[in-house]
Structure 1
Amino acid sequence: MKKPLFIGSAVAIVTPFTENGVDYETLAKLIEFQIKGGSDAIVVCGTTGEASTMPDDEHIAVIKFAVETVNKRVPVIAGAGSNDTRHAIELTKASEAVGADGILSVTPYYNKATQKGLYEHFKAIANSVSIPIILYNVPSRTNLNLNPETVKALAELDNIIAVKECNLGQVGDIVNLCGEDFAVYSGEDANILPVLSLGGKGVISTMANVIPQDTHAMVEKFFQGDIKGATRLQLKALNLIKALFSEVNPIPVKAAVNLLGFEAGQCRMPLTELSDSNLEYLRAEMKAYGLI
């Protein structure tokens, strides 16, 4: 039987940058904010953490810092994906070496792959380490889909234990094919309740950067049988979610973290600052939510 790394809400945490590198002091504050807010796991160096702009030494240093700061209070899941299988294996092994509890591994982007290629890619990664692997299917960014049948084949490998799924239309098929032992997490904040209703175990969340308590509570209420309470929280968050995705992630959420009073800095190029109009939109929705 496979045990999920977490049940509930994992925050895909932003990486605070300065002109010279990572602002570790602010990262520590953000981690404490998340743990105090009830996040059930912390995903570091994912899409929201801007891993694609981080050199390997910085990438691994941030994972190591997160592991040491969290100090086993919740699982730390390291983004370690790449469209180069050899590079993904290197990042995955290095993440294990610095103490990550698990890996989030995205489907190869740009060069893409066939379903056979995806299977062999993830199998090679899984065979390189002993810690758990969460697959990450995000077709809007990678321009390819990890089909349910391929997920089923990968789920038969011992340490591939879950998928972060952004294709809502195939969640039910994955649950049917893979069974209850294989965890499915929502990859879209607006679809947490639909995924849970189909047998999902939680969410890997962008919005948890600013509303960790409510994101955690939404999943908790669902599993406690308070479906109406969970639904109220999902509906309450929808306008905020729209503002948090008014431009490409993580541009708006990093601005939102700054509006909360954390000095998370700006996104690295090629991402730019949030436009003035969307900043005002975001500010208005955060005020309406009661955050500022």
Structure 2
Amino acid sequence: MDQNIIIGAMTALITPFKNGKIDEKGYENLIKRQIKNKIDAVVPVGTTGECATLTHDEHRICIEIAVSVCKNTSTKVLAGAGSNSTHEAVGLAEFAREHGADGILSVTPYYNKPTQKGLYLHYKAIAKAVSDIPVLLYNVPGRCGCEVETDTIIKLFNDCENIYGVKEASGNIDKCVDLLAHEPRLIVMSGEDAINYPILSNGGKGVISVTSNLLPNYTSKLTHLALDNKFLEAKKINDEMYNINKIMFCESNPIPIKAAMFIAGLIESLEYRLPLCEPSKENLIKIEKIMKQYDIKGF
């Protein structure tokens, strides 16, 4: 499985809407822009992709588009395939594998607040169902109401050959240190843009970024410098990105990033799925002001 694992600079893709439906052509163009800017993998239909409000058919369409656009390129597809229901998560994972995704990103089951045993059994079932492609766990307690503890992550890593690591989005750098101190073979990916550099410099192997929807070239350069052990150069980019990384979370993700993409002319319309809605006028002004500090490349 080592040769198949997915690391490096990754983008948690937004899902553009047009007149209430997925803007499929717009989605294709966004992915092509990511490929052009040397992103190692795109991540369709994660939290940033508003997966919680997509129908299952829409979820599948996004995966199919991502796989089609990335075919015959060096950019891989790590497909979002999580749910609060294990059988639904397994079904999405199987669909992604059957339709050519290179790997699976599976978010912690939300709302149910399962025990650590329940989380272990949930992820084990997913890993077993798609045993021939890599699976990345996704720990984001702030969104899901529960956390995959260090011991559980390590047990899953040791017991399931295709579970290769975790997207760590708790915002807790201590958790990343804890994981790698106890299991240095584990792949830890940053899921929190503000601390991308600290995680990479501690041994993380990549990032799954929200900001890279807007600035894929910055994110790619930062990540690849860090992976090449050029930490001072990587830190400089991380420092440059601090303001944009912070403002992208002034309201619930993906509200700010979609607004920024619209302001930059990268999506045709600013549409969300309720209960998500447009940012406040005050935050919209702040987002636009900070965006002026950066060179945002178009298509």
Residue matched to 2:281: 276
Distance in 1 of aligned mates of 2:119 and 2:3: 24
After superposition, residues 156-195 of structure 1 pair within 5 angstroms as 156=158, 157-167=160-170, 168-180=173-185, 182-195=186-199
Residue matched to 1:220: 224
Structure 1: segments with no counterpart, 5+ residues: none
> What TM-score comes out, normalization by structure 1 length?
0.96
Render the CA deviation track for 1:268-288: whole Å, top value 9, x for unaligned: 110000111111100000002
RMSD between superposed Cα atoms in Å: 1.4
Contact 1:77 1:102 in 2 (8 A): yes
Shift in Å, 1:264: 5.1
Matched, 1:203 2:210: no
Which is further off, 221-230 or 239-248?
221-230
2:293 aligned counterpart, secondary structure: helix
Render the CA deviation track for 1:156-200: whole Å, top value 9, x for unaligned: 1111011000232211121122322x2110010011111112210
Contact 2:12 2:208 in 1 (8 A): yes
Contact 1:4 1:162 in 2 (8 A): no
> What TM-score comes out, normalization by structure 2 length?
0.94
Residue matched to 1:16: 16
Contact 1:15 1:45 in 2 (8 A): yes
Render the CA deviation track for 1:91-124: whole Å, top value 9, x for unaligned: 1111111111111101111111111111000001
Contact 2:9 2:208 in 1 (8 A): yes
Matched, 1:38 2:38: yes
Contact 1:254 1:264 in 2 (8 A): no
Residue matched to 1:151: 153
Distance in 2 of aligned mates of 1:272 and 1:116: 36
Structure 2: segments with no counterpart, 5+ residues: none
Contact 1:4 1:161 in 2 (8 A): no
Aligned partner letter, 1:106: V
Distance in 2 of aligned mates of 1:187 and 1:145: 14
Contact 2:201 2:231 in 1 (8 A): no
Render the CA deviation track for 1:204-257: whole Å, top value 9, x for unaligned: 000000110110111111222321111111111111111111110000000111
Q: 1:44 to 1:131 in 2, by over 3 A?
A: same
Aligned partner letter, 1:52: A
Distance in 2 of aligned mates of 1:40 and 1:96: 18
Count residues in correspondence: 291
Which is further off, 121-130 or 66-75?
66-75
